[in-house]
Structure 1
Amino acid sequence: MVNIPASLHLPRWRTLTLLAVLLAPLLLPLHYMAERYYREQLAEQNRQTLDLYVANLLGTLGRYEVLPDMLGDMPALRASLADPADPASQAAANQLLERIRQRSGADVIYLMRADGYSQAASNWQQADSFIGQDFSFRPYFQEAMQDRPGRFFGLGTTSRKRGYYFAAPVRDGQEIIGVVVVKVDLDEPEKLWGNTPEQLLVTDSFGVVILTSNDEWRFRASQPISAAQQAVIARNLPYPPGSLKPLTISGKEWLIQERTLDTIGWTARILAPRELLERQVRTVLYVGGASLLALLLLLAVMTLRRRHYLERIALDARAKRDLELNVQERTQDLQTLNQRLQQEVHEREQAQRELMRAQDEVVQAGKLSALGTMSASISHELNQPLAAIRSYAENAATLLDHNRIDDARGNLKLIGELTTRMANIISHLKAYARGARRAPESVVLQDALEDALSLLAARRRGMNVELIRDVPDAPLWVQAGETRLRQIINNLLTNALDALIEKGPPRRLWLIASQDEKGVTLILRDNGPGFSAEALARAHEPFFTTKATTQGLGLGLAICDTLLRALGGHLHLSNHHEGGAEVRLHLQRGKPGVAPVPQEEMRG
């Protein structure tokens, strides 16, 4: 008989527990290194963000810094100051300042006489016009009258809007006869910050918060204000009455970085919640603890396997000695080994089945991805007809309430046509998915254009977009599917209206059509912000978009490009030299007078 050593039966958990206690202190240096690393990462990220914001803010102000000096040399302004009572010279000065304000993007530009009263202003037609207002108490006027550049931040006494003021003297020879003032709106630089956990804070020379991403901090004092400073504030009125409540920012709650704007005496700060750092450090500690636990479990498994291995050796030795004495025990041992072999075979078969199931899941994931792309395309293309159907249905209900049966019947007819169009769009997408070819048609470009414009007419009028058309009266026959062509034009007009949302009035949209021996060209142009360099490079890619996720999927231009190439045409994107985006559709000429083929698709 072979005896198994008693030490093999002793529990190992006591050893593992002791090892865990010895390894646990390793989490302390891990905590220190993780906190230091993520603190540096967060600080570098916030530094770059703060540098970009400061550069944008200084760039915004720098664009208007020299404008007052340039305006001071204009004869129309000097003429108005020379004869303040002349209505003609005053009107000319008002119109000049209004044109310059529109071109420069400034908030307000106004001309002040030497007595501090406003003689002319770009907002002369508005109810809160600056004309006749006394601004002599403002520091920028006093500095300009002393032949120094006028600089001042404050809340407008008339408009109640924040702004940064640039002022310069107007001379008649060596004599200063007035002051030109340019007010810059500071709301836009503040809105650029967006909705992020980090908070923005810009304070002026008094320590008062003038720009911030937190509305509750605006016009609060981040430091004590002396009596002398309070007297200056009371004299210049840069802030709303009753503001300047103390603002206390705890370093225990925020990681603070600041940048001093020496040119204007401001200080910009970015405040990151400490929770951002602590959350990442906790994640590292969780991973480290899980790794330590996995190591301990691995050691436990290895210990148990070693113990099992030693037991097997002892049992094998005992079996060999008892083999000649007891055949039955030997047979039992063989059966035990056979059962273990069967178990291993079973485990291998199970592993093979798991592998095959995993492969099936990968194939299914690919199918779901393709289905998702097609669903996104259908959703993108059906949004406009669905919106029109809803509008016509609501109008029909209203018309029925007023017993306008014929008008309601017309709306229901339009709903039927839009439903047919939606069916055609779905048919096109299904044919595209299974590789079907498009049947050639000859259609009239003007009909497709008028139909697309009617779908968007309500939105265009609501946005006050001026439509400028240069389309021949004679039909322009092109080779294209009627529904596909309307789909393309509708997508491009929708994109143009989306771009014009970002621009203030006036909003304009040009439609220009022409034909030559090469084909028919349709130009859609707007006076919006135009395409960025990245948009021009990637506009044909599916799911690329510069809009918010709630406004678009990035499929419109990709679908238009695919449909046009299938029709033998192509799409060209560019920026017009006078500003705004320009889209050119190049189509092949169709045969005049040929009716459209009823079936849009043919099987390949």
Structure 2
Amino acid sequence: MPASLPAPTLPRRPRWRSLALLAVCLAPLLWPIQHLAERYYRSELASQNRQTLDLYVANLLGILHRYETLPQILGGLPPLREALASPRSSAAVDAANHLLKRIAEQTGAEVVYLMNTTGDTLAASNWDQTDSFVGRNFAFRPYYRDAMDGRLGRFFGLGTTSAKRGYFFAAAVREGEQTIGALVVKVDLDHTERLWGKTPEQLAVTDQYGVVILTSRPDWRYRATRPMSDTERSAVEATLPYPTRAPQQLALAETAWLTQNRDISETGWTVNLLAPYSLVERPVRSALAAAAGALLVLILALGLAMQRRRNYLDRIAFEGRARQQLELRVAERTGALERLNSRLKQEVLEHEHAQQKLVQAQDELVQAGKLSALGTMSASISHELNQPLAAIRSYAENAEVLLDHQRTEEARGNLKLIGELTARMASIIAHLRAFARRDHHAPESVALQPAIEDALALLAKRRRAMGVELVRDLPDAPLWVQAGETRLRQVLGNLLANALDALTEKATPRCLWISAEKTAEGVTLCLRDNGPGFTREALAHAREPFFTTKTRTQGLGLGLAICDTLMRALGGELLLANHPQGGALLTLRLRPARPGANLQPPEEFA
């Protein structure tokens, strides 16, 4: 054995006092870095909030502009003029009420109501509600006075009847040159607050009096952002736009918020976006920490450089001694490698011999698998084609009877259905052939409801003959899943046929439930019957080929095995269980897909 290496000499410590002095000299550089980072992040936050503020203002103006011209347009409707001309006619007032209700439902307005020249409400879209405006006088509102003066009335305030805030548009209803009343549209602005969402930035829309009317902070609502003059207080007491006559002052620390605002000249409002200063302080602290870390790394790098320079000479001597020791170790390792190489060659020869035997065994296993797959495929084709063949025979017999009675159109419909069933049989055979060749088709977007209707149509005659009640709970909107259209119908047909087979053992009433829903993971379809359900043995072995609880004349035990194989090929899952209220419960979990083009359900079978 070679002699051990001599212990290296301990490196001398660097001059840490010099490094500490250097750190003290470089520390003042952090102040301008902090100042520059603060200016940069303030500018970035202001630019981002400016775009957000523009989007919110545009959305708010879009909502108001949509209803702005509505009172002027609707004021010329004959039913409204007739109600103003004949206020004591219950028929005229009732027609106006129903018309205003339809207008409110179609336009999305909160309330639409009609007032006479004294400010009394004759008709309203909420005439049939407990907080109806009918019979109430709103002559004190500014929008009514503006409308009677021939101007478009605008006003934001809290409803004295409904206690709900909203924005009011009002326009005069004229008969020639004479003003006979006013039509008012109230717009609900609550959803504009909900659009803001949960963000650090806060929204506050103030009116011409400086009072917050829309905000993302409920505790700011109806708080004054500035002192009001005596004239403004009198206007507030006269028009009652808020739930209080004297709004409390909203105290906000100017140093805690970065504020940006936009004025809306049409309404006299100011939209304010307040961003907490912490959004700037956090990245500034991160930048300052990064700069301090960089300075620390620089100081440590200088210290390491000094340390490496001091150790350079010691390392040269150490490497000279290590080189001699290494030459001795190389000589020993060379001999060991030669012996290991000889042993490795022998192992490679043995591995090649074992590989040849493995290839031969694999060839024999593939041949045995082909013979097994051939038998399974034959049984699968027989099982899958029994249902369409039975349907074709039924339609052919029905067509013969229809032709005897000269009902050619109905017979032609049966023949068309026979053609569709033969096409389906060909598709099933093609898919079984492709399955045998391991030819995996790419999944496509398939609408689930039409596939269910197709499978039910194939078994409709048998279900009605058995007196099975069908209970559906399917959404109206199409549920799109990733599947093959023929394979999905094949799975549904097998599962529904098994359910009907189970119900033959039960006396009436017989029920079959079908429900589907869209979940976060995909689409879930549940099939349930009130039959005897699964036994413990059936739940353990139902997915195995040729396992069945039926007689040999009733089935081969391939249905659930084929369904399970097809579901796994489609990326889905088939779950078997018993329902707590009795009967079997089968759950299909399918992957979601984007909406496709196949929305038409199949034709109903005769």
Seen in structure 2, the aligned counterparts of structure 1 residues 557 and 179 have a Cα distance that, compared at 3 Å, is: farther
Q: Which amino acid aligns with 2:46?
A: A
1:150 match: 153
Q: 2:599 aligns with which of 560, 565, 584?
A: 584
After superposition, the C-alpha distances for 1:110-159 in whole angstroms (9 at most, x for unaligned) are 00000110011001111111111010111100111111111101000000
Q: Secondary structure at the match of 2:250?
A: coil
Of 144, 164, 169, the match for 2:167: 164
How far off its partner does 1:102 sit? 0.6
Give the direction of change, closer, same or farther, for the CA distance of 1:121–1:41 in structure 2 (3 Å limit): same
Q: 1:437 to 1:168 in 2, by over 3 A?
A: closer
Inter-partner Cα distance in structure 2 for 1:285 and 1:303: 27
Alpha-carbon distance in structure 1 between the residues aligned to 2:521 and 2:79? 42
Deviation at 1:441?
A: 12
Q: In 1, Cα distance between the equivalents of 2:12 and 2:488?
A: 90
Picking from 112, 118, 121, the partner of 1:109 is 112
- The answer to whether 1:572 aligns with 2:583 is no
Using the alignment, how far apart are the partners of 1:136 and 1:101 within structure 2?
22
Instruction: Name the SS for the 1:177 alignment partner.
Output: strand
The verdict on how the C-alpha distance between 1:15 and 1:103 changes in structure 2, with shifts beyond 3 A counting, is same
What SS class does the counterpart of residue 245 from structure 1 fall into?
Answer: coil
Distance 2:182 2:212 in 1: 29
Residue 287 in structure 1 maps to residue 290 in structure 2 = yes
3-state SS of 2:139 partner: coil
CA contact (8 A) 1:112 1:178 kept: yes
**Does structure 2 conserve the Cα–Cα contact (< 8 Å) formed by 1:441 and 1:481?**
no
Cα offsets for 1:484-520 (capped at 9, x unmatched) = 99999824699999xxxxxxxxxxxxxxxxxxxxxxx
* 2:18 aligned residue (15, 19, 37): 15
Deviations 1:11-39 (A, max 9, x none): 42122222222222222222122111111
1:444 and 1:275, CA in 2 relative to 1: closer, same or farther beyond 3 A? same
Which amino acid counterpart does residue 596 of structure 2 have in structure 1?
Answer: H
Contact 2:473 2:514 in 1 (8 A): no
Q: Within 1, Cα distance between the matches of 2:252 and 2:33?
A: 30
Q: 1:477 to 1:44 in 2, by over 3 A?
A: closer
Among 235, 248, 271, the alignment partner of 2:251 is 248
1:90 has 2:93 as partner = yes
- Label 1:25 to 1:240 Cα distance change in 2 as closer, same or farther (>3 A): same
Q: Quick check: 1:51 aligned with 2:21?
A: no
2:591 aligned counterpart, secondary structure: helix
Structure 2 counterpart of 1:37: 40
Matches of 1:161 and 1:126, distance apart in 2: 14
Structure 2 distance, partners of 1:18, 1:128, is: 79
The residue matched to 1:157 in structure 2 has which SS? coil
Question: Partners of 1:75 and 1:485 in 2: how far apart?
Answer: 61
SS of the residue corresponding to residue 243 of structure 2 reads coil
CA separation of 1:442 and 1:280: change in aligned 2, threshold 3 A: closer
For residues 453 and 64 of structure 2, what CA distance do their matches in structure 1 show?
Answer: 56
Distance 1:298 1:164, change over 3 A: same
Assess, with a 3 A threshold, how the Cα gap between structure 1 residues 447 and 129 changes in structure 2: closer, same or farther.
farther
Find 1:132's aligned residue among 119, 132, 135.
Answer: 135
- The alpha-carbon distance between structure 1 residues 495 and 293, as it changes in their structure 2 partners (threshold 3 A), is closer
Distance change >3 Å, CA 10–CA 162, structure 1 → 2: closer
Percentage identity across paired residues of the two chains: 46
User: 2:522 and 2:19 mapped to 1: Cα distance?
Assistant: 69
Cα distance in 2 for partners of 1:586, 1:494 equals 26
C-alpha distance 39-84 of structure 1, shift in aligned 2 (>3 A): same
Name the counterpart of 2:218: 215
Work out the CA distance in 2 between the residues paired with 1:214 and 1:126.
Answer: 31
Q: For the Cα contact (< 8 Å) 2:71–2:171, is it kept in 1?
A: yes
Structure 2 runs not aligned, ≥5 long: 1-10, 333-434, 443-450, 479-485, 497-512, 524-570, 572-587
CA deviation map 1:379-405 (0-9, x unaligned)? xxxxxxxxxxxxxxxxxxxxxxxxxxx
Which amino acid in structure 2 is aligned with residue 481 of structure 1? Answer: V
Contact conserved, 2:220 with 2:250, CA < 8 A, in 1?
A: yes
Three-state SS of the structure 2 residue aligned to 1:277 is helix
Q: Contact (CA 8 Å) 1:209, 1:217: kept in 2 or not?
A: yes
After TM superposition, the score normalised by the length of structure 1 is 0.57
Counterpart pick for 1:444 among 436, 455, 461:
455
**1 CA distance for matches of 2:520 and 2:300?**
60
How far off its partner does 1:483 sit? Answer: 8.1
Q: SS at the partner of 1:490?
A: strand
**8 Å Cα contact 1:80/1:86 also seen in 2:** yes
Question: What are the superposed Cα offsets for residues 151-201 of structure 1, whole Å, 9 maximum, x if unpaired?
Answer: 101000000000100000001110100000000001011111111111100
- Asked whether the 8 Å contact 2:34–2:288 carries over to 1, the reply is yes
Structure 1 segment 400-479 matched on structure 2, within 5 A: 444-445=455-456, 454=471, 456=473, 479=489
Partner amino acid for 1:584? Answer: L
Could you say which residue in structure 2 is the equivalent of 1:62? Answer: 65
For 2:84, the equivalent position in structure 1 comes to: 81
SS of 2:169's partner is strand
Q: Distance in 2 between matches of 1:483 and 1:47?
A: 59
Cα distance 1:35–1:109, how it changes in 2: closer, same or farther (>3 A)?
A: same
Equivalent residue in structure 2 for 1:482, among 480, 486, 492? 492
Distance 1:226 1:71 in 2: 38
CA deviation map 1:203-262 (0-9, x unaligned): 000000000000000001110011111111111111003651100121111111111111
Taking the aligned partners of 1:114 and 1:271, their CA distance within structure 2 comes to 44
- Equivalent residue of 1:73, what SS? coil
Paired residue for 2:423? none
Q: In the aligned structure 2, how far is the partner of 1:171 from the partner of 1:214?
A: 43
Number of equivalenced pairs: 391
**C-alpha distance 456-45 of structure 1, shift in aligned 2 (>3 A):** farther
SS of the residue 1:248 aligns to:
coil
Structure 1 residues 165-314: aligned runs within 5 Å: 165-241=168-244, 244-313=247-316
Instruction: Give yes or no for contact 1:153–1:238 (8 Å, CA) kept in 2.
Output: yes
What displacement does 1:443 show? 6.4
Correspondence list, 1:496-535, <5 A: none
Letter in 2 for 1:49: T
SS at structure 2 position matched to 1:159: coil
Supply the distance in 2 between the matched residues of 1:101 and 1:173 (Cα, whole angstroms).
Answer: 26
| In 2: Cα distance, 1:149 partner to 1:442 partner | 56
Structure showing greater Rg: 2
